A and B are shown apart, each in its own frame.
Chain A
Amino acid sequence: MRSLERVDKRLTNGLALGVIWLAAITTVAALGAILLYVVVNGIGSLTPAFIFTWPHGVNMEGGIWPTIQSTVYVTALAMLITTPVAVLAAVYLAEYAVQGRLVRTIRFAADSLASVPSIVMGLFGLAAFVEGAGLKFSVLAAALALSFLLLPIVMRTTEEAIRSVPRYARWGSYGLGATKWQTVSRIVLPSATPRITTGVILAAGRAAGETAVVIYTMGTMINAPLFPSDGGRTMPVHLMLLAQDGINLHAAYGTALVLVLMVLAFNIVARWVSRRNRSMQG
């Protein structure tokens, strides 16, 4: 009786752990399937001509260069707008703020901002920046709308990075007669920079892959934007339109591959930055 119970217990344990393994394997397999499918189907399209030339004709033959340029442009501009505000906001929350109603409100707002569906952010961008501020479909309007999406992400990673700086380091600086800002700017932020960078890069990956926000703020016109006031079509938007029309799947596969490679590159760089930092401190 007792031994039977023990066998049963062990059997349950084995089965349950098997299910857990299965869950993890399914997750990894899902990633593998997506990556493999995109790579296998897209690799044939991935020629220098595809990357560096313009699309032409009703079937969008040729390359995707202007969509790459648009994506890079809007991502860079969005990060340029977001990063300083988000980092300083995080400095406030981590270093200056006293727990209270104001801080609770700010945190609630940041959490809310983080969970606003991107389609809502897109319509907001359309109403506020494209029409309201008269920016038309432009890189700037898209970057501004994106920056609201990215702000809470960068704020959160930065605040965590700042909080992970040991308080002993701060004390050392204060103990030498440093003011708060001297301590923050010379000790805390430099120490937190690698982790902040990791967060910023991951957020940039998010911006580069975003569709719903940019489609209503930058438009869908194929263009190589030069000024922030120019419009354009980013890679995700291009991919979506190609896939929906179903006219040139070849180009769609290629675009998907370039997009995935770009996001992958962001992830790898972010990982590299954080790992290098860990080995430096270890």
Chain B
Amino acid sequence: MTDKLASQDPGDVLSAGADKFTVDGLDFFYGAFNALSGIDVRIKEHAVTAFIGPSGCGKSTFLRCLNRMNDLIPGTRCEGKVRLDGHDVYGPGVDPADLRRRVGMIFQQPNPFPMTIYDNVAYGPRLHGMRKRADLDAVVEESLKRANVWKEVKDILGRGGLTLSGGQQQRLCIARVLAVEPEVLLMDEPCSAIDPTSVQKVEDLMAELKDRITIVIVTHNMQQAARVSDYTAFFLQELAGEAAHLIEFDRTATLFTTPRDRRTEDYITGRFG
């Protein structure tokens, strides 16, 4: 089976379950540079999908195409179709702000706002018009609980979000996103800047959240991809200066045990050593 086939036809193993995102023929450009080319992928609802690949392979860039965060970088351009529940994300008049509320994002660097823990979590609901203190209190508590950080912060809600440890900050950021009830959670290497015990907590959290939320995670750590994800996509930029491609997409168990593409195999065995 050629790589072309692998990337064009996700295969019938993947036909089960509803597609949350469908991406067809996506190309991404930084100015004149074609960074991603011909990406086709189906992201399953209520599952965890991992994007793996060597650094610089465009997996984070692709992630940021899904909620149009790349719109914020001047000189970038996206071609092809990205559909959320069948609706074109880049369609005319689509409100990127509303899209981003529905498709939340966690960043590599925990980024609490310079305000109290409470205000961090209440930020999103307030943006979208929630004003009553009782409602906000309820959302803040619920979100912090879902993010597994309530016990640690419930007595210090008035403290600055930046005073927490790195791992706590990251879970605070997750709570902040959960407060706006996203349907999809995009996580861009969420564990690369936090301590190992917190990594465990974040991974547990993903397992708990996926009944209600579709999760996409970019990770450079293949063990993590193998542990947390149901589906895995392998990205590779074969030559410097050329566009990166999606090499293989499959159920995590399949991809890690019987990869169809030699390059995938090289990558995962090389890393697993």
B111 touches A176 (CB 8 A): no
A176 touches B180 (CB 8 A): yes
Chain A residues closer than 8 Å to B5, beta-carbon distance? none
B114 touches A176 (CB 8 A): no
A281 touches B123 (CB 8 A): no
**Which of A98, A177, A186 has the most chain B CB atoms inside 10 A of its CB?**
A177
Q: Which of B72, B101, B112, B176 contacts A171 (CB 8 A)?
A: B72
Contact with A along B158-197 (1 / 0, CB 8 A): 0010100000000001001100100000000000000000
Chain A residues closer than 8 Å to B113, beta-carbon distance? 169, 172-173, 187, 191
**Interface segment, one of B28-36, B77-85, B102-110, B256-264:** B102-110
B176 touches A174 (CB 8 A): no
Number of interface residues of B (CB under 8 A): 29
B105 touches A175 (CB 8 A): yes
In the bound assembly, the distance between CA atoms of A179 and B71 in angstroms comes to: 12
| A169-B111 in contact given A175-B177, A177-B98, A186-B123 (Cβ < 8 Å) | yes
- Considering only residues 166-207 of chain A, those with a C-beta below 8 Å from chain B are 166, 168-179, 182, 186-187, 190-191
**Which of A98, A176, A187 has the most chain B CB atoms inside 10 A of its CB?**
A176
Chain A residues closer than 8 Å to B38, beta-carbon distance? none
Chain B residues closer than 8 Å to A168, beta-carbon distance? 107, 109, 111
Q: Which of B74, B102, B111 contacts A172 (CB 8 A)?
A: B111
In the bound assembly, the distance between CA atoms of A170 and B177 in angstroms comes to: 14
A178 touches B97 (CB 8 A): yes
- Inter-chain CB contacts under 8 Å: number: 66
A174 touches B69 (CB 8 A): yes
Contact with A along B103-139 (1 / 0, CB 8 A): 0110101011111000000011001100000000000
| A174-B74 in contact given A190-B115, A281-B114 (Cβ < 8 Å) | no
Number of interface residues of A (CB under 8 A): 21
Chain A residues closer than 8 Å to B173, beta-carbon distance? 172
Which chain B residue shows the least CB distance to A98?
A: B74
Q: Which of B67, B74, B128 contacts A175 (CB 8 A)?
A: B67
B100 touches A174 (CB 8 A): yes
Which chain A residue shows the least CB distance to B110?
A: A168
B177 touches A176 (CB 8 A): yes
Q: Interface on A for B, CB 8 Å cutoff?
A: 98, 166, 168-179, 182, 186-187, 190-191, 280-281
Q: Interface on B for A, CB 8 Å cutoff?
A: 67, 69, 72, 74, 97-102, 104-105, 107, 109, 111-115, 123-124, 127-128, 160, 162, 173, 176-177, 180
19 A-B pairs besides A176-B127, A190-B114 with CB distance below 8 A are A166-B111, A168-B107, A171-B72, A172-B107, A172-B111, A173-B113, A175-B100, A176-B101, A176-B104, A177-B124, A177-B128, A177-B180, A178-B97, A178-B127, A186-B123, A186-B127, A190-B115, A280-B160, A281-B162
